[in-house]
Structure 1
């Protein structure tokens, strides 16, 4: 019997092979429901980053299907993949990937500009996010003047700019000190508590335990364990 709510992410018998060596993913099947925060764990070479890239439409599987929000991502061409990411995906990277010659506000506004959002609406959305994330005072600063934790908050604001259905994060605390990392963990937990669906790729078990409602452990490109658990409640 089909679930009453369709999965946001559906991967069916997905494999990804490169020119040499064993496949990065091998016959992987996985569903992610709306509102879940899924942490994908595993050692280096387990297929975590490949999985994230396939869901983001940055790569294509050798075999199998990848569907996100009803879109067959594996069938999109380059232009279609770019439109899909603008419409459905927000991405957070380990090393922020901010543009150093743009101010904080302009970095956050960039996805809206690429999507053609009206200027007034984009400005209002940016103001909302900068306030929500506690970085409004830095709107005219350049990323190089900010701490690592502040830069990651700017990256989160940019990822949320177009109100994505799915937030993808690749080692989002990997470049941060412990205090800043804990701050970003709390932010991600709050976002999920507010209904944001997330997939986090990490080798850090403490990040998974702090931010995820479910952990999926990969070994040699296959799901070794899939465990649901409860996150600590968010203080309001």
Structure 2
């Protein structure tokens, strides 16, 4: 971990139409190399915060900067380029393309970024081997277990070497054994220096792979503390 702040969320509030504020005056800084778990009850603003960091939504007030990029001021085209180059995203239900093989799913971000084919193929092979799913390269996602599909999703998210990995309930759709497998994977990635922000209800996930936890309540940070990982 370094003293460099990869994420700087300053004074952010978010409202939708005439409804109540989802986030209120939230300020958060995340150092490069941290693994931050965002906890809180449903409706507390967890997913909204993740979407703001990803550039999928914009704050009503305040600013969001990631890796030196002022995310809240990007155009739609710039936001898409930002996500391709600086953000890897992992979702609860994998979001893999079932008509593409594992290898082609992993290659997709590189193809969208215009990475030369040979370079992309080498990177994909490296990731599949590192995550222990190289034997499934030619298989289709529907033939894999939940834990294996989540590993494919992580490989795809890391394809373009993003400085930040965002994970939204990454163990939420998994059985106990697969969830433990993914927890260990995220822990290993962070130990290798990957910055991670994850939204979760899974306390075991936060306790095993997060170096820091914040709890959101009614759109505000109610707790912010470092964690001793198990």
TM exceeds 0.5? yes
Q: Please, which moves more after superposition, 217-226 or 20-29?
A: 20-29
Alignment-derived partner of residue 140 in structure 1 = 138
Cα distance in 1 between the residues matched to 2:138 and 2:98:
12
- Contact 2:45 / 2:218 at 8 angstroms: preserved in 1? yes
SS of residue paired to 2:132:
coil
With structure 1 as the length reference, what TM-score do the two structures score? 0.96
SS of residue paired to 1:203:
coil
Alignment-derived partner of residue 168 in structure 2 = 170
Cα distance in 2 between the residues matched to 1:20 and 1:97:
31
User: Which runs of no fewer than 5 residues in structure 1 stay unpaired?
Assistant: none
Alignment-derived partner of residue 67 in structure 1 = 65
With structure 2 as the length reference, what TM-score do the two structures score? 0.98
User: Which runs of no fewer than 5 residues in structure 2 stay unpaired?
Assistant: none
Alignment-derived partner of residue 31 in structure 1 = 29
CA deviation after TM superposition for structure 1 residue 6, in Å: 3.0
CA deviation after TM superposition for structure 1 residue 203, in Å: 1.6
Root-mean-square deviation (Å): 0.9
After the TM superposition, which residues 12-27 of structure 1 pair with which residues of structure 2 at under 5 Å, given as runs?
Answer: 12-27=10-25
Cα distance in 1 between the residues matched to 2:183 and 2:3:
28
Cα distance in 1 between the residues matched to 2:102 and 2:4:
37
CA deviation after TM superposition for structure 1 residue 230, in Å: 2.4
CA deviation after TM superposition for structure 1 residue 120, in Å: 0.3
Alignment-derived partner of residue 54 in structure 1 = 52
SS of residue paired to 2:139:
coil
Residues paired across the two proteins, number: 229
Cα distance in 2 between the residues matched to 1:22 and 1:225:
22
SS of residue paired to 2:121:
helix
- Contact 2:46 / 2:216 at 8 angstroms: preserved in 1? yes
Deviations 1:182-236 (A, max 9, x none): 000000000000000000001221111111000000000000000102224xxxx
